[in-house]
Amino acid sequence: MKRRQFLNSATALVAGGSFAAIPAQAKTASDDASAVPDEGVAPAPTDFGFEEVAALASERATRVYRQPVAEQVGSFADLNYDTYRAIRFRRDMDPLGGKGRFGMDLLPPGAIYYEPVNISIVRGGRPHRLDFDPGLFEFDPSHFPDGADVETRGEMGWSGFRLRAALNRPGTMDEFLVFQGASYFRAVARGTLYGLSARGLAIKTGGPDGEEFPLFTDFWIHEPAETSEWVRIHAILDSKSTTAAFQFDVNPGAVTMMRTRAAIFPRVDLQNTGIAPLTSMFWFGPASRRNVDDYRPAVHDSDGLQMHTGAGQTLWRTLASHKTLQISSFMDKNPRGFGLVQRTRDFADFQDAEAMYHARPSAWIQPEGDWGEGEVRLIEIPVENEFNDNIVSYWQPREPLAKGRRHEFRYRLSFAQLPPNDVPLAKVRQVRSGLSINVETTRSFIIDFDLSLFVDELPDYSVTASAGKIVHAYLKPLPDQRVLRLAFEFEPGDATLADLQALLTDKGGLALSESWLGRWTL
């Protein structure tokens, strides 16, 4: 809630991008997007797929939006954080039957989850609606000493679902993906813990009119074959400005891959829409400890925005904490990939035995097809603790998504310790910053690059600033640490904001490292 209140009052920069709209191909559908065959109806079997969901979303876009809200009653009323967690899905009631690789939990309403979600299982090409049933949950008697009211259903629905698989140990069904709350979802890969989130769409994020939070209102989970390594999910997203149909094909593992397809049907011309949005948390790190008194060296789910541009340039933008809302735009055409990354993987870099920030996953977006002109946008929101997500990244098309048309995007979203590295360039290992020991108004910056590419001779380098002045720059190899250190000082002068950039090159100016980017604010 604090995050939403901040965004509603923030003033943002204006940016643009472009995307060629695809003519609508969806069929007409019934008035109710959840009106699908249930166990009591026996029509001829049909294949239920993406175009059927797109048809429902397209038809819904012709109607005025009504946000679904249900009163929480019975044992689901007036729940706090602890009592909500004391309600657990009965694993013996798994809707997927426990026959194949995957398991599924249905999630209860209550606490902050008051928007009902329709969930169906697709078997043999036919959807089967799962009606809300309080009897599918166990209630911890330490929080419900008088027992639970499982007879009252009211108008409540599910709040979401999670999927399970034997991800880390044979025979142990770990949860690896959860959809719950607005259009948010999180996933983990082998050896990682939940951290950053993905979203269906980001609408007006950081805008002066306040952010609009679309909802996943309907899900269809296709029952996988017993030998299948993939599970397919269809969903409808709805909001005041747009509807959308989604397809997620998910394969959990060392890299949990989600092949994603989205068809968007705007109710209005969407001026500020984020495609493939990611949401994370950054409080402080070695390069950004503004007024932080904490025993830990760093606290963050992600430490940088990594980008691979359509022109082949590789960028690393260090995240930072600022006193004011910051929006950065990176113009591009047909981006090859971008994502929020946690490169800091050593426990010693965090010293947090509970949050285990070194085990948080990275998320990488790889567009499929041409996305045209636009920008990767990064939003950094001020925070004073680690309990609110404050980092958002997404693709912003140059042109608005036109009302009444179908706009389609496809991409691969992967969760892993680190994104794929297919570019032979030195990466930034760590960035440090602090007041200069020489001049009080000057900042010292230390950027450590991988040393492995520079065993024979040191490269050239360039360091630039959009404002102020760079002084005393030099390179120093640190063989024991296996890094090449680029150090410099930044004199801001009268500037209150500056974008900094550093690059290692050969004698001819060819890039030997990714381009480091950083933003300094007063």
Give 174-208 pLDDT, tens digit per residue.
999 999 999 999 999 999 999 999 999 999 999 88
pLDDT over 70 at 376, yes or no:
yes
d(CA 200, CA 183) in angstroms, rounded, equals 5
Number of helical (H) and strand (E) elements in the chain, helices listed first: 3, 32
The pLDDT of 222-244, averaged and rounded, is: 97
For residues 316 and 304, the answer to whether their CB atoms sit within 8 Å is: yes
Question: Collapsing DSSP states into helix, strand and coil, what is residue 103?
Answer: strand
For tokens 């609508």, name the residue: 24
Confidence tier at 150 by pLDDT (50, 70, 90): confident
d(CA 244, CA 273): 12
What gap in Å lies between CA 317 and CA 304, rounded to an integer? 5
Q: Comparing 26-35, 71-80, 208-217, 298-307, which segment has the lowest mean pLDDT?
A: 26-35
Q: Are 90 and 107 a contacting pair, CB within 8 Å?
A: no
Give residue-wise pLDDT tens across range 471-501. Answer: 999 999 999 999 999 999 999 999 999 999 9
Sign of CA dihedral 11, 13, 14, 20: negative
The letter for the amino acid at 522 is L
- Tokens encoding 354: 């509970």
Between CA 437 and CA 155 the distance in angstroms is 64
Alpha-carbon distance of 33 to 30, in angstroms, equals: 7
Percent of the chain with pLDDT over 90: 84
Average pLDDT over residues 503-511: 96
Q: What pLDDT is stored for residue 290 in this prediction?
A: 85
Of residues 322 and 2, which shows the higher confidence score? 322
Q: How confident is the model at residue 37 (pLDDT cuts 50, 70, 90)?
A: very low
The sign one gets for the Cα dihedral 511, 513, 514, 515 is negative
pLDDT band at 228 (very low <50, low <70, confident <90, very high): very high
**pLDDT digit string (tens) for 57-71?**
999 999 999 999 888
pLDDT of res. 46 = 58
Choose among 125, 130, 158: nearest CA to 52. Answer: 125
For residues 275-288, average pLDDT: 97
User: Between residues 11 and 119, which one has the greater pLDDT?
Assistant: 119
Judge whether residue 511 has pLDDT over 60. Answer: yes
Mean pLDDT, to the nearest integer, of 357-383?
98
Topology (CATH) of 428-521: Immunoglobulin-like (2.60.40)
E strand map for 324-385: 326-333, 337-341, 362-368, 373-380
The share of the chain scoring above pLDDT 70, in percent, equals: 91
Element (H, E) at 432: strand 428-435
* Domain spans of the chain, in order of start: 428-521
Distance from first CA to last CA of the chain, Å, rounded?
A: 27
Nearest to 344 by CA among 356, 330, 334: 356
Q: Other C-beta atoms within 10 Å of 493: how many?
A: 10
In the three-class reduction of DSSP (H, G, I as helix; E, B as strand; rest coil), residue 17 is classed as: strand
Nearest Cα residue to 505 out of 491, 515, 517: 515
Rounded CA separation 163/103 (Å)? 6
Work out the average pLDDT over 502-518. Answer: 97
Task: Answer yes or no: is pLDDT of 32 > 50.
Answer: no
For the chain, give the mean pLDDT. Answer: 90
Residue of 470, 61, 371 lying closest to 238 (CA atoms) = 61
Three-state secondary-structure class, residue 14: coil
pLDDT value at 97 more than 70: yes
| CA–centroid distance for 503 within its chain | 28
pLDDT exceeds 90 at position 82: yes
Q: What is the mean pLDDT of residues 277-290?
A: 96
Identify the pLDDT of residue 1.
32
pLDDT at 35: 34
| pLDDT tier, 246 (very low <50, low <70, confident <90, very high otherwise) | very high
Check whether 407 has a pLDDT greater than 80: yes
